[in-house]
């Protein structure tokens, strides 16, 4: 599909140019080019239709009729009417998506509450006053990080169903962060271990991203982080 999208982009670029050249009259070339253009446009339409198939089943015969009428200059709708209908479609799809996100947020909160309640019962798990749950796998040695310090870490971030949404380990590259610029659960949790330490954090939503969906993380999600504190770079005084 990427290949066809590239072809469609190339065709669009060519047609947007003001080409002052001799008229092409080779029928075979014209026929082949016309068909290829139709295929490229059709694939783009197919992607648009497929992307919303769980919400709306478009009538492909009506789509083709609209394309044909437009090419023949006999569209039965004014530009304003076309715009109004497309805007109505956009609004309806947005409403459905918003309802979907709200439902996911409610489910994430309920499932997260249950997960944390069960996790808290596990051996060696502790809970802070803020609601942060943690299990220290290795305390480490040396200095602990302060909020103003920079930390070098390896980490894996997961949803409660085990889905990984981020991993410096998988990328093979540790990351440096200024600690006080991170989410509250990290700021608090990393200070519980020393350089070389490892900790598992379970963050309630209010210590993570709260009621805002972020990337593949639904709103109100409880998050799990496995963190190894590789180094602490003290802030300059």
166 is catalytic: yes
HEC string of the chain equals CHHHHHHHHHHHHHHHCCCCCCCCCCHHHHHHHHHHHHHHHHHHHHHHHHHCCCCCCCCHHHHHHHHHHHHHCCCCCCHHHHHHHHHHHHHHHHHHHHHHHHHHHHHHHHHHHHHHHHHCCCCCCEECCCCCEEEEEECCCCCECCCCCEEEEEEEEEECCCCEEEEHHHHCCCEEEEHHHCCHHHHHHHCCCECCCEEEEEECHHHCCCCCCECCECCCCCEEEEEEEEEEECCCC
Q: Which of 115, 119, 134, 155 is catalytic?
A: 155
165 is catalytic: yes
Q: Which of 63, 165, 226, 231 is catalytic?
A: 165
Q: Which of 166, 180, 226, 231 is catalytic?
A: 166
15 is catalytic: no
Q: Which of 115, 119, 134, 225 is catalytic?
A: 225
Q: Which of 134, 199, 209, 227 is catalytic?
A: 209
35 is catalytic: no
Q: Which of 63, 177, 183, 226 is catalytic?
A: 183
Report, as residue numbers or ranges, the catalytic residues.
155, 165-166, 183, 209, 225
């Amino acid at each position: 599909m990427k290949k066809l999208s590239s072809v469609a982009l190339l065709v669009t670029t060519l047609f947007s140019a003001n080409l002052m050249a001799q008229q092409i009259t080779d029928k075979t070339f014209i026929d082949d080019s016309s068909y290829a253009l139709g295929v490229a446009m059709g694939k783009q339409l197919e992607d648009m239709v497929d992307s919303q198939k769980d919400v709306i089943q478009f009538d492909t015969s009506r789509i083709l009729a609209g394309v044909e009428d437009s090419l023949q200059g006999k569209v039965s709708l004014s530009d304003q009417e076309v715009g109004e209908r497309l805007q109505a479609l956009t609004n309806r799809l947005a409403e459905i998506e918003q309802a979907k996100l709200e439902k996911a947020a409610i489910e994430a909160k309920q499932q997260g509450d249950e997960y944390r309640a069960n996790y808290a019962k596990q051996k060696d798990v502790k809970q802070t006053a803020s609601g942060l749950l943690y299990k220290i796998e290795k305390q480490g040695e040396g200095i602990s990080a302060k909020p103003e310090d920079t930390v070098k870490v390896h980490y894996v971030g997961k949803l409660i169903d085990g889905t990984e949404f981020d991993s410096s380990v998988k990328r093979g590259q540790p990351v440096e962060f200024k600690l006080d610029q991170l989410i509250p659960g990290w700021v608090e949790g990393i200070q519980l271990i020393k350089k070389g330490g490892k900790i598992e954090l379970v963050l309630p939503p209010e210590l993570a991203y709260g009621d805002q969906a972020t990337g593949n993380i639904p709103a109100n999600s409880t998050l799990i982080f496995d963190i190894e504190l590789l180094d602490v770079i003290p802030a300059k005084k």
